[in-house]
Amino acid sequence: MSWILILEQSLNGLQFGLMLFLLAAGLTLVFGIMDMINLAHGSLYMLGAFLASMFVQLTGSFLAGVLLAIPATALLGMVLEVSVLRTLYARDHLSQVLATFALILIINELVRLAWGSDAALPMPAALSGPVELLPGLRYPSYRLVIIAVGLAVALLLYFLVAKTKVGMLVRAGASNREMALAMGVNIRLLFTLVFGVGAALCAVAGAMLAPLLAVQVGMGENILILAFVVIVIGGIGSIRGALVGSVLVGVVDTIGRAFLPILLGAFFQPRVASAAGPALASVMIYLIMAIVLYFRPQGLFPARG
């Protein structure tokens, strides 16, 4: 039945969207609080995947490998923040773009030196089979785990940002940096901390997506742009916006890829439809972003009052 297909693709979209959220959440905080364009965010995602691959091979356990990769990536992220990025906060966006672009080049080559151009991270055997969610709907259990992890991290992040003292400071920083500074918030420490959390989230996404996608140098570049699209749609600095934006982008992209060729096939020749479908699906998320920006230049959930 076709509704089963639609449901399955929606779940795929949700799964992709939640992983996108992990990237976008860190990016939106860095962007919102520090007013910093960090193109190297995708490199942390790549580092997370490569580290996870290494640790999984070392320990022989998927869970242990991923759990080791997360703090390792967070540490690398904080080192990066303290050593290079910290000096860029006061600079204009142009310098930030240039410096973090340089960091992409550097990190790509360092990863290539350390691990080679690609790495393997096989799916844990226990999770490789499908489960029957509904009669007739068999869904890969690993993807379900990704959805569960994504939701759990989103909840945790919500709790962290909305209910704790640190979260309050983060929100204060995102809505008005100067005022937070004037009230005596230790912004430097807060920045490093936020950066570490962002890097950890990158590692979760990188490690969880690795068995589904290829672990390779350059994997961060394309998903980075998607994460930027998400935070611009959601409103820079807003976690809630990042969540809504991610799920929107994930679902629209996945559903579009699955059904636009079929939809176009009803009107055009199959050859044309199979070529134009995926392209149109890729274009659609950018189209959504352009439309959102045109009508709501601050995004759907503006963080600044």
Partner 1 sequence: MRKVFLVILLLLAFPVAMQWLGYLFYVSFASRVLIYAIAATSLNLVLGYGGMLSFGHAAFVGAGAYVSSILVAEGVASAWIGWPAAVAAAALLAWIIGAISLRTRGVYFIMITLAFAQMMFYLVNSMKAYGGDEGLTLPRRAELGLGVDLGNEVAFYYTVLAILLAGLYALHRLAHSRFGRVVVAIRENEARAQAIGIPVYRYQLVCFVIAGAAGGIAGALLASHGKYVNPNVLHWIQSGTLMIMVILGGVGHLWGGVIGAAVLLGLEHLIADHPIPWLAQIAPNYQQHANLGVGIVLLLIVLFAPQGIARLLERKRNARP
Instruction: Return the number of the residue (1 or 94) whose C-beta is nearest partner 1.
Output: 94
Rule CB under 8 A: choose which of 61, 64, 75, 101 binds partner 1.
101
- Give the tokens for residue 76: 């690398």
CA angle 276, 277, 281 (to 5 degrees): 115
- Whether 25 and 228 have beta carbons less than 8 Å apart is answered as no
Going by C-alpha positions, the residue among 106, 109, 89, 104 that lies closest to residue 33 is 89
Rounded to 10°, the helix 2-34/165-175 angle is: 80
Instruction: Return the number of the residue (20 or 232) whose C-beta is nearest partner 1.
Output: 232
Residue 109 contacts partner 1 per CB under 8 A: yes
From residue 19, how far is each of 31, 85, 251, 274, 289 by CA, in Å?
Answer: 19, 25, 12, 27, 19
Q: How many residues does the chain have?
A: 305
Instruction: Return the number of the residue (160 or 280) whose C-beta is nearest partner 1.
Output: 280
Q: Which residue stretch of 70-78, 101-109, 140-148, 193-201 sits at the interface with partner 1 (rule: CB under 8 A)?
A: 101-109
Of residues 145 through 204, those in contact with partner 1 by CB under 8 A are none
- Whether 1 and 242 have beta carbons less than 8 Å apart is answered as no
- Whether 259 and 9 have beta carbons less than 8 Å apart is answered as yes
Rule CB under 8 A: choose which of 64, 93, 131, 151 binds partner 1.
93
Shortest Cβ 23–partner 1 spacing (Å): 15
Rule CB under 8 A: choose which of 16, 45, 55, 228 binds partner 1.
228
Of residues 19 through 78, those in contact with partner 1 by CB under 8 A are 31, 37, 39
Q: Which residues of the shown chain bind partner 1 in the complex (CB under 8 A)?
A: 31, 37, 39, 84, 87, 91, 93-95, 97-99, 101-106, 108-110, 112-113, 221, 225, 228-229, 232, 236, 271, 275-276, 278-280, 282-283, 286-287, 289-290, 293-294, 297-298
